[in-house]
Chain A
Amino acid sequence: QVQLVQSGAEVKKPGASVRVSCKASGYTFSSNTIHWVRQAPGQRLEWMGWINAGNGNTKYSQKFQGRVTFTSDTSASTAYMELSSLGSEDTAVYYCARGFRPGTTSELDYWGQGTLVTVSS
């Protein structure tokens, strides 16, 4: 069965960077996109963008452009999200999710369990 397993919780200081991993199993990793979505406390889900796990092409939300980087390692079936210049407003649960179809409008048919990132001095 398809599974996405994310790395554990992180606590970071303002201005630092964080990297979250998302290990996929149960399907051919390079055949799909991986989307990243976050949810700050009491806020709605917020889409950050996607990466084509096979060829590394990316699409970033304008809000995060220049501050976020998605990468993928096909040999490890793992996707990564790195967010830099962290501020308190980046405190959130970060999710990875598989895009069923290529592109931005795809449904997200399987999700990781989420990674809590806390930014605090």
Chain B
Amino acid sequence: SYELTQAPSVSVSPGQTARINCSGDALTKQYTHWYQLKPGQAPVMVIYKDNVRPSRIPERFSGSISGTTVTLTISGVQAEDEADYYCQSADSTGTYTVFGGGTKLTVL
């Protein structure tokens, strides 16, 4: 079955830039969306359709795609950004949705 691959963890100091990657063979055919999960809270969509930021999300969050890898970039990371981040996409035919394994962002 189709899988999306994410690094388990990323660590950055406050004010630095964090880049979280998501790889999958079908990412050139299907949009990718990104979610922020914090313990005890409802997940929050931070980027959709590869690189569109919802208006309620801070401008420091951005998305990009290069080949079969999509990247969530958080510029000027703040302590409140510490969370797990998951990418979501679909198989090449759009039959089912899959999530990446998640990346834990630690703000040092």
Contact = CB atoms under 8 A, between A and B. Distances in A.
Q: Check if A and B associate.
A: yes
Interface in A89-121: 95, 97, 100, 103-105, 107-114
Contacts of A113: 41-42
B102 A107 contact: no
Interface of B: 30-31, 33, 35, 41-45, 48-49, 54, 86, 88-90, 94-102
Given A47-B96, A97-B43, A113-B42, A108 B102 contact: no
A105 B90 contact: yes
Given A105-B30, A105-B97, A44 B86 contact: yes
Given A4-B42, A107-B33, 20 more contacts: A44-B99, A44-B100, A44-B101, A44-B102, A47-B96, A47-B99, A100-B48, A104-B90, A104-B96, A105-B31, A105-B89, A105-B90, A107-B48, A107-B49, A108-B43, A108-B45, A109-B45, A111-B35, A111-B44, A114-B42
Contacts of A44: 86, 99-102
Interface of A: 4, 35, 37, 44-47, 61-62, 95, 97, 100, 103-105, 107-114
Contacts of A110: 42, 45
B94 A105 contact: yes
A4 B44 CA distance: 12
